[in-house]
Amino acid sequence: MVNSDKELKYLLKKFGFGTDLDSLPDEVFANLTNPSDPKYSGLRNFAKDLTAERRRLYQNGRLGMIIDGTGDEFNKISMEKKELEAVGYDCYMIFVNTSLDVALERNENRDRILPEKIVKDSHKAVTRNMGGYQGMFGGSNFLIIDNNDNVDDEKKAQKRFNMLVKQGLGKFVNKPLKNKRGLSWVRKNKILKGKK
C-alpha cells in the first residue's frame, strides 16, 4: 500500500499536532502543509518523501502496489501510470465515487479532518477527471464503485466496499501479465533464480 497519509498521520502525532487538521489555527495548518508559507516546517514534504522512497523500493522489486490517492490531479496519475508501465507493470484503477455531501460527512468522521474548502475543491476535481480516467485505463482495467451507501453503519459500508474492490481487483490480479517489459523482467529473473 502506498499512501502518504500514513506517514503524515504518524508525523503529526509524533510531533504533538494530532490529526484533526481542521481544528488547527490557520497559521499552524499553513506551517505544516503549505510549502509556500514562509514558516513552512517541511513536514508534509517529509511525509511525501518517505512515501516516495517506499514506493521506489517496491517498484524496483516489481512488487504489486496499491497506490491510494485522491485522483484530483489528472496529469500526475497519467504520468505515474506511464512510469509504471514503462518498467513492466499492468495498471488498474478503482474509482471510488461519492456525493459531495457524503464526502463532507466522512471527512468530519475521519481522524485527519481536512478544511471543508479542500474537500469541496478536491471532490470537484476528482469528479471532473472521472471520464478521463475511464479513457486512460480502458473499460477492462477501470472500476467505479459507488460508495454512498451505508454511511450510518461503518462496518457494513466497509464490508460492502471490500467485497466490491475484491471482485474487481481480483479479476485483474488473477489475469496473466500482459506488459511485454514486465514479462521480460519475470523471464530474466526466473533465469537468474535458476542459476542460484
For the segment 127-160, what is each residue's pLDDT rounded down to a tens digit?
999 999 999 999 889 999 888 876 566 677 678 7
Q: How do residues 67-106 score in pLDDT, each as one tens digit?
A: 988 899 999 999 999 999 999 999 999 998 999 999 998 8
Decide: 54 and 131 in contact? Cβ < 8 Å: no
Determine the 3-state secondary structure of 65 from DSSP: coil
Give the span between the Cα atoms of 59 and 179, in whole angstroms.
15
pTM for this prediction: 0.79
Question: Letter for the amino acid at 111?
Answer: D
Confidence class of residue 195 from pLDDT cuts 50, 70 and 90? Answer: low
